[in-house]
Amino acid sequence: MPGLENDNFLRACRRKEADYTPVWFMRQAGRYLESYRKIRAQHDVLSICKTPELSAKVTVDAANELGVDAAIIFADIMLPLEAMGVRLRIVEDTGPKIESPVRNEDDVAKLRDFRPEEGVPFVIDAIRRVKELLEDRIPLIGFSGAPFTLASYLVEGGPSRDFTETKKLMYARPEVWKPLMTRLSRMVVDYLSAQVKAGADAVQLFDSWSGSLSPVDYEEFVLPYSGWIFDELQGRGIPRLHFGVGTAGILRMMRKAGGDVFGVDWRIPIDEAWDVLGDVGIQGNLDPAAVLAGPDLFDARARDILVRVGGRPGHIFNLGHGVLPETRPEQLKRVVDLVHRETKR
Ligand code: CP3
């Protein structure tokens, strides 16, 4: 990327040599940070997201405080759904709650078309502000929820353990599933395109809950949609990151869907995941709970990841999922320093 002071993250995304292994954390801005809690005491999450000064500040403060190699825009995967007319709130410690779940053709037809500049102007504005505040020190990651993960919230009406309603609809009601996934996929492409136009240097597709699917179901009911999104975003000069939780069994299928870098959780050794994925970048793998343990344990776990990777280009250090609220910021900084120090080339 021309002009970036620290482009190690982007180089690693392209599997080019970096000065050291870049680090960032999913949910690096959040309640575990004192600076965030102060703002959060006055505003709920969605209000922070909808106030560009605040979301830009939260984004940049977190990246600066931790000394990470990339910032991620402070937003939520639910924002574009609100812009499509879905009424929802975010319940603390639980997650999104949808007022009227989407269960039939009428519910899908009622979804409004999504135009990023009208529907989520605050995200676009926040990205521009963050780019100014960062002054090209580190790159900025934009993101969107993936069709399956968004559909799961819309259909279940909230977080779920088994995704029974989503799967029932997916298996038995193609006349609902197909248009729903199609509408969501179109939205994701338009949303991520607008983020790139506003200055995002990379984009991540959060398919957090796709690991709940068998490989055949992923292939039949999800791959065509996520695959279309990655195809549409190819050739634009920005790395595409593809993330999910519990995806050990569907990595091959996720790879088929697309992406330049794959985020994996801790349920598979990172070298095994990389063997399955082949010639792409990889990030994640450290259990967020390990960061809560004493430094001896989490130093050992972080080093284990570095040993398994063995200095191969294309590695980005991250947790396997978001930072837990009870995390001590010093512990994360310790991980950043350890990885930078031990991988310096
Ligand atoms: O990573 C970052 O620093 C950027 C911020 C970010 C948020 N949400 C802000 C937020 C990101 C990347 C997301 C994505 C998101 N949102 C996902 C995909 C990633 C994942 O974790 O799998 C999902 C599933 C959501 C939906 C959602 N929003 C959940 C499950 C929650 C947590 C509820 C809780 O209280 O723990 C939210 C709320 C939310 N969005 C928080 C943050 C930092 C929680 C903190 C708060 O309440 O202030």
Going residue by residue through the chain (345 aa), what tens digit of pLDDT does each one get?
Answer: 458 999 999 999 999 999 999 999 999 999 999 999 999 999 999 999 999 999 999 999 999 999 999 999 999 999 999 999 999 999 999 999 999 999 999 999 999 999 999 999 999 999 999 999 999 999 999 999 999 999 999 999 999 999 999 999 999 999 999 999 999 999 999 999 999 999 999 999 999 999 999 999 999 999 999 999 999 999 999 999 999 999 999 999 999 999 999 999 999 999 999 999 999 999 999 999 999 999 999 999 999 999 999 999 999 999 999 999 999 999 999 999 999 999 999
User: 76 C-alpha to center of ligand 1: Å?
Assistant: 6
Per the rule left: phi > 0, alpha: psi between -120 and 50, beta: everything else, 102 is: beta
User: 226 C-alpha to center of ligand 1: Å?
Assistant: 21
Q: 61-71 burial by CB neighbour count: b if 16+ within 10 A, else e?
A: bbbebbebbbb
Is 153 noted as a catalytic residue in this protein?
A: yes
Alpha-carbon span 323 to 29, nearest angstrom: 9
Alpha-carbon span 280 to 201, nearest angstrom: 18
Q: 34-59 burial by CB neighbour count: b if 16+ within 10 A, else e?
A: eebeebbeeeebbebbbbbebbbbbb
C-alpha distances out from residue 232 to 77, 190, 258, 263, 341, Å: 19, 10, 10, 20, 38
User: 94 C-alpha to center of ligand 1: Å?
Assistant: 10
User: 32 C-alpha to center of ligand 1: Å?
Assistant: 13
The dihedrals phi and psi of 8, each to the nearest 5 degrees, come to -60, -40
What is the residue with the minimal CA distance to atom 27 of ligand 1?
95
User: 62 C-alpha to center of ligand 1: Å?
Assistant: 15
Task: Check 27, 129, 183, 240 and give the catalytic one.
Answer: 27
Is 296 noted as a catalytic residue in this protein?
A: no
Is 87 noted as a catalytic residue in this protein?
A: no
> Which protein residues are within 6 Å of ligand 1, measured from CB?
26-31, 40, 45, 72, 74, 76-78, 90, 92-96, 143, 206, 208, 322
Q: Do residues 110 and 99 touch, judged by C-beta distance below 8 A? A: no
Pocket test for ligand 1, best of 23, 24, 27 (most atoms within 8 A of CB): 27
Is 31 noted as a catalytic residue in this protein?
A: yes
Is 27 noted as a catalytic residue in this protein?
A: yes
Task: Check 7, 76, 125, 201 and give the catalytic one.
Answer: 76
The reported pTM is 0.97
pLDDT, tens digit, 9 for 90 and up, residues 154-213: 999 999 999 999 999 999 999 999 999 999 999 999 999 999 999 999 999 999 999 999
Alpha-carbon span 257 to 147, nearest angstrom: 12
